[in-house]
Structure formats: C-alpha cells, structure tokens
Structure 1
C-alpha cells in the first residue's frame, strides 16, 4: 500500500487496445445509492462515488487521518472524508504549470507523520519563459493546511514525460520516479536525473549506499514511470509507458538498467538482442503491446476481496479499465491478469487501498486526451469499490460485449483502432492543439510515401496540418507487418471523408528502403 509506515497501512504514445464495451454503469453513483457489481465468482462488491467535480485527481493516497488525500493536476492538494464526501483544501500551489500531462503529480507521506508531519509532492513549473522544471517539494501539515514549502530537488522538465511518482521505502528513503523529458539520450545517461528512479534521504540529501557514489540515481533506462508501489518482500513495482510498443510492469532494483531507449519491453528484437548481449538489461515482468497506458498501481493483500489477494492493482488510461495482476508466491511473476470496468468510467488515473480492503479509484477524464463520450458532468471522481452483501456476479464487471466483427473483418480498421484512435480519435478529427486531424490532411491525401514514412519512421517536431501547427512526438510503427501497414494506411486514406488511392504491400516495402 502507498502508506505503509503508520498504523493505517495502504508523443504522444499512440496505442489503444480494441475492446468491446461493457454495459455501462449509471453515470453518477451516489454514496446514498450504491450500484452493486460482483467482481469475482463469489465476492460481491459495490461501486459508489465518494466525491465528484474534481480536476484530474492525479495521486490519491490513504492518509494518516483515515481520510483520502489527493493532488489535482491543476495545483491543489486536498483531503476528503471517504464516508461523507466532505472535502478540505490544504494548499493551492500557484506556480504549478498545468499543460497537457504537466501539473501537480505525485505525493507521499513521511513515515513518522505524527512526529514529522511532512508531505512530499512533485510538480512542473516554469524556470523562465523557455525552460520547464520538475520540482520535488516538502510541505509541513499544520492546522489543516500545508505550509512551509521546501524544495528538495529541481530537475529539467519538458512538455511531456515528466513522470512521476513518489513512495517512501521500508528503509525510510524517498523513491522518486522521473520521466526522460522527451530527450532520447537522458534515460541511458547516468549523469542525467531524467528517465530514472532516484533515491534520496528524507532531507533530500544523497544516501551513502546509493549504487553510484554521490549520485541520487537508483535505476535508469526508464521512459515515463506512472505508478510506483512496494509489495511483499520489499519489492518495488513500477508501471511505465512504452512508446510504439511495450508498456511495462517492472521490479525496480538497485543499480539496474531497464533498457530505454535501446530496448522496449523484452530483449526480443535483433537490435535489442545485440544491445542486451553487451549491456545487462533488466526485463519487465509484464509487457503490453498494443499499449494500454498503465497509470497508478497499488498492492492488494486484504481479505475483503480474497480473489485479489497478493495482486498488483493497475489503472489504465487508454484502455480505461482496472486490472488485477495476480502474483506468484515470490511476488516476482504475474501469473494472471483480469480486466474490470472496461470503459465504464473513462480514463482511470490512480488508486489506493484502505485498511479495511476497500479500493478507491480516481478518474482522469478532464485531462489532455479524453476518451470518447467523456468527460461527464460529474467528472472527475473518486470511486469506492467495497464489499457488499448484495450484487451481481463478477462476470458482469469483467466481461465485455461480444466482439465487434466489423473490426476483425476489416484489418485496417482494427489496426487503426488499436494503434491510432487514442490520439487521432475514432473519427480522425484529432485533438485540438495536440494531435493533428487525419481528415483532409495533405500528409494523408497526397503522395503515399509521405504517410508511409510517417507511419514507418515516426515523427518528431513541428508539423503543419490543415493550416495549423502541431508539435509532434509520434513513435515509429515499423515493427508492424507490411500487410498491416498497407491496410491501416489504406483505411486512413479512404476514411473520415477522405478520398485517396489505396496502398499496396509493394508500396510499403519500397517505403521501408
């Protein structure tokens, strides 16, 4: 659990896994009227709304006062009574820079909170008119406010890939996960603090037993960690965003290299194998292709939902679901994965576990890349999943509707749904100011080679589409088969009101050269 030391215990990437929609629960589930859903064959549970109308609750943690503490990406830290929904704002940080995935992010409590009522948070801000920094700041809690901010660390930031999560280790160190700041060389550069898991003393100094003398670096080769939690046997788990492939669940260990940007997921591609033969790489214990955009994680070992015991609980953004990753007895292998609430509540950002086994989940529907049909008027929310005497069977929360055969019969549409629609949207309209539209774009309708080169090689930098400029960091999809690229290129060129010629496999082969 995220708070394990008190008596409480607790770019654009581009993939979107194609799934059938489950039957949607009521848009607003009040505390007074719960909607019961059974999540396992024998255990019945209820889903209820603790609080609504939030602005992307990025981190939620079970607090030292039996309330839920949470950050909102726009710059506020608050706490909410999980039983009544009463909210108290603790601080509003005016210097927070909220832009796309930037803002107020991770949070953790001092392990001896009664004696040292400190809260550690990290956020992005502007150093000047040009440069962005990511700060790790310590606040003191007094009289129901967070006061006396002290900056422990400031590292370079960027318009994306700033991480980041914070946890306190069993040996009372700050573990701080940073993103690569959209700079390819950072993750493998041990002199850079980006693309790392950093380890600090509680006062911000460098621990003497870190793997590199005088350095905060604990592990490296990370792209953009989005979840961090300790599980059994002091194992530190991290969920991480991949690029064009291989979202990851990793076990973070001292002095280990996790491969990015030279390795994505496992060492299974020719260039990756060559690199892994010369450099020792720690591979993930789980990887997802197409990517699911894994977000917050927590460890579950309560009796309330016994079927989830000894599992890493994972929220996802692109797939908009809750995943239960069952571990083996060692905690080092995922032996089963079960998906719940598929697209029922929209994008899910974080979660925490209460001492009684209730699970709290935050939605992320007012962020920079909302899913189709979101945000709702009630977004964003913190939801409670609790054991209930009444309800339906687990299958209702984990089963999807029958597969949409139109996706399997049209390979181009299937590939587009899996790999493209998260950014460019189902109708090809993109996201204003962020992801360019495909409808009517010269890059889509013009010379075929232009579109093929973008798909095969990726795109980084500014691009003008339909008279508007977009700053793009689109990954390369050259790992797809020639037929898949031909089919998806044809689908893009002939859909969304476009009228253009189809793409052949021979044209894909020629574009690869």
Structure 2
C-alpha cells in the first residue's frame, strides 16, 4: 500500500497501516471587541488606559491601541493596559482592537476622549506680528510677516481679511508655523485689508498686526481663480456626483440618505434613504457615489456604504427619487471597522467600476489576496468579476493599501489614488494592474519597501491626511483633512510637478473634491462630527471652485 504525505495539521487517524491527516478548519472568527475602556492616569504628556479582556474562540494574542485612526502601540494578549504618549491640550479619541493568532481583528471597543493638561501653565500672549506685507498676482494675494515671539511657543497665526478670518497657519510638533499665507480666488480689481494675530497652544492671542492693503489684479493668473459657497450642511457630505442635467447628488454619511440640489444650491431636498446602512461610531456610513456611464438610459446610482457586518457596494436607480425597491447588492465582504473603511468609487474609461477599500484596521489583510481589505477593487457594472483582472476570479486590482479614499483617472486612462498613512507619510499612487503598494511593511517610503510600487509623491501626515482627489485637464487636485488644504499638481508623464497649495486653513478640513460638468471643482468640508456616527452634529459647507491655468 502506498502512503501519501499531506501538508495539513491535525490529529492522525489510523486507517490500516497508513496514517491520514485530518484537516483542521482555519480560524476565521475574530475576537470580541474589548470593553470598559477607561483612563487610569493622565499627565501632560501621557495617558494610561485599562480595558476588559476580549474573548475569542481560540485565544486573544494581542491588542492594538489607536487614537483617531492612528495605531499608537500593540501589546501582548495577556496585558489589558498601556501607558501612551500624549500631547498637552490635544483631545484624542482612544480605543482598542483585539487580535488572535490567526490574525483576525475585532471591531473597535468604546472610544474614550482624553485632553491632557498642558505641561506649563501659560497666560502670556505672544508678541504682535510685524512687517506684514502683501503682493497680488492676478486674483491671488501672497502675504508675509516677521515671526512673533512667545514665552513658550507660537503655534499658529490667524489671518484676517477685511476683519473676517481668512485662514489659519498652524505649526506641527516642534515645527513653528510658517509666516506666509496665500489667499486665492479673490475678486478682480478689489482692495483688501489684511491683519495677522499670533496664538500659542493655550489660546493666548496677540493683538492684531498693523494692516496691509493689497489690490488684486484684473484677471486670474493662478491655478485657482475663485470659490463660492453653494450650500451649508449639518451632516457630513462624503460622496458627491453631478449628473448631465446639472443636478448635484451627495450622500449624508451619518443620516444615510442622498440629497439632490441644483448647481447653485437651490432646490435642495432629500431624495431617499439608502437601505441597510449602519455607522461604526467612527467613519462608516454612506460613503462613495458614482453614476453609471450609461446613466441617461439606465439611471443607476452606485453607492459604497457600511452595513452591520461589512462594507458593500450597491446600486439603486435614481429618477428624481431614490428607487430603493430597485436596489441590487453588487459586492459584500469588504472589511469594516471604526476607521479604515475606504469608500471612494470611480468608473474608469474601460467602463469598469473601481473602489477604494480600507484595511478595516487589520493591516495584514492588505497583503492577503483572499481578502477585499486594503485593496483597489475592480468590478463590472453588474457586480461581476472582470475576466482580465490580475488575479483569476478576484475583484482585486491592486493591494497593499492602508486606507485609500481618493480615485481619479487622467487623460491616458491611468488610475491615480490617494492613501492615508498612519503617522509618517500619506501617498499619491499611480495604480498599476496587480501592483503591491507595500502596507503594512512599508508606509510611503519608510520601512521594508522592497518589491512594492513606490508612491509618486508623499506628504507628511500633519500636512495631509488627504481623502478625495479629482483630475481636470490633467491637473490633480487633492482635498486634505488634517492638512486643511487643497493641493494642486500638474501630471507630467508619471510625475507630479508644480505642486501648489490653496485654501490652507481657510475652510478647515477638506474631504471631497470632484469635477463639475463645466470643468471646475466641487469641494466639501469635514470640519466636525466626522469621528462618530451621530447625524446632523456638524457644520459643513459645499463650495464651487473655479480653476485657472
């Protein structure tokens, strides 16, 4: 009798003289979410946390401690406490995930917000900034001034235009704030008066500087020529599209509905609630939108949303209202968690639908080709797997991504993608079929990046944390949250050149940028309430931005 060796792990079952291995089912059950997170000690530069142990069908082997989507530390499964670095005066939302030996990661436990005291009591205001001057170039004004001083440190400058705040220039860590500010999209042939105030970490502010008067030129000579607010919104506008008749559709992330409005903001109305949506007490909900390439005839609106168990892509017909009875679920099983849900949708020139899927706070999934997490996915409009995808029978187009949220195609049909880093670098990537972009071993260009596709450009997280991107006439626009700015870069071959920054601190956190049908941009804010699932607890705006050269 011939014996056969099997590479399986399990108890031996004796059948006659030969041993046969009984396979053991793989462990796919994640641990429970850690409970009862609480603060046991706080100093000006640290916070100590304790939580109740999670449970697992086999065993919990570790815990990952996060604040606001950023991994801070991992601890062994036998420990349910950690002391972590913090920053005085900074409010961070802490939470914990559990892991098992098979790499399954739990949903996040409860969030505890902590604001440590400052290490040094400070009631002294900075000195008044001096030497303010401004130069106009078309409808853009560039301001500069001499740095103020402070007994501790100047952390920001607030710029006033005609008595109203025009923007804030902030420092990061040990880096002082810049002493320049670019004010874009102004009216032509108009006189403006500017002043600057210095501020420290504890909110002490100087008096206003001496004013500087600047008159704009007769025409726009820059990349951004103007911006106008179209509407205000109490919830978070996340996905946004404009259809051929001019109607703008956007999703309210935490209300779970779709809103329609005219291009000038008039006629705004809810057109229906997306079925089956559930928040994550973080960044889940109604996320990306896309309209069918054949929308004029088929009326399909594509929606990426979080459910109670996963992230998924559905399509629903829109004919002035959201026809929820027509809903088709196209793809399920994209990992969900408090953060790292991805969510952007974009149809390519090939007629296929591309989706940016986050790693669901389970970094190992980004390298696992059997998982949909940490990937750019490609599917047919009906939800099928395209036959020319790089991995047979799989939706995966590229992998090794952490939390991608920006997708856009250039005139050559190439896919550009924007991705959140953890605490070192954000990335702008040129996505290639089957490409591995390195996460979690590689963040930007840091770590073990051998064999991964290098980003086209990286950005310090403090100046970025960018979400949506758009391409208009082969110029890439990037909307940034923590960086509170809009990057503009010309696509030149496989590079990004002439990188400029607009609206730095002017409108706060920016989430989504999308092309208008007349060749300009829609731009949305994400200033508050974007780290929970509470509806209508924010104060957001949607702008139309006129682009120039």
Relative to the length of structure 1, the TM-score reads: 0.62
Per the TM alignment, residue 322 of structure 1 is displaced from its structure 2 partner at its CA by 1.0
> 1: distance between equivalents of 2:547 and 2:391?
46
1:218 is matched with: 397
Quote the residue 1:166 is aligned against: 345
Can you give the 5+ residue segments of structure 2 that lack an aligned partner in the other structure?
Answer: 1-65, 72-89, 91-154, 167-184, 189-215
Q: Which moved more, 1:215-224 or 1:97-106?
A: 97-106
1:325 and 1:185 mapped to 2: Cα distance?
A: 32
Secondary structure of 1:114's match? helix
- Cross-structure match for 2:251: 71
Specify the SS of the correspondent of 2:365: coil
2:313–2:329 contact (8 Å) kept in structure 1: yes
Does 2:519 correspond to 1:360? no
Does residue 152 (structure 1) correspond to residue 152 (structure 2)? The answer is no
Q: Single out whichever of 359-368 and 232-241 deviates more from structure 2.
A: 359-368
Contact 1:13 1:244 (8 Å CA) reproduced: no
From the superposition, tell whether residues 44 and 95 of structure 1 become closer, same or farther in structure 2 (CA, over 3 Å): closer
Matches within 5 A, 1:472-487: none
Structure scoring higher RCO (CA < 8 A, sep ≥ 6) equals 1
- 1:247 and 2:426 matched: yes
Aligned length: 345
Partner of residue 90, structure 1: 271
Task: Go from structure 1 to structure 2 and tell me whether the alpha carbon gap of 1:184 and 1:377 turns closer, same or farther (over 3 Å shift).
Answer: closer
State how 1:429-468 maps to structure 2 within 5 Å: none
Counterpart mapping for 1:341-420 below 5 A: 341-369=503-531, 379-386=539-546
Q: Distance in 1 between matches of 2:361 and 2:537?
A: 33
Q: Distance in 2 between matches of 1:21 and 1:251?
A: 36
The 1:208/1:368 distance shift into structure 2, 3 A limit, reads: same
Task: Verify: 1:191 aligned to 2:370, yes or no.
Answer: yes
In structure 1, what is the Cα distance between the partners aligned to 2:505 and 2:233?
Answer: 19
Structural mapping, 1:168-317, within 5 Å: 168-266=347-445, 269=447, 272=448, 276=450, 280-291=451-462, 292-301=464-473, 310-317=474-481
Contact residue 47 and residue 385 of structure 1 kept, 8 A: yes
TM-score, normalised on structure 2?
0.58
Higher strand share: 2
Q: Tell me if structure 1 keeps the 8 A contact 2:347–2:354.
A: yes
Q: Given the superposition, is the C-alpha separation of residues 341 and 42 from structure 1 closer, same or farther in structure 2, using an over 3 Å criterion?
A: closer
In the alignment, the residues of structure 2 paired with residue 43 and residue 196 of structure 1 have an alpha-carbon distance, to the nearest angstrom, of: 32
Q: Which has the higher helix share?
A: 1
1:57 shift after superposition: 0.4
Cα RMSD, aligned residues only: 2.9
Task: Point out where structure 1 has 5 or more consecutive residues left out of the alignment.
Answer: 1-10, 29-33, 127-131, 302-309, 371-375, 389-393, 395-513
Compute the displacement of 1:22 (Å). Answer: 4.4
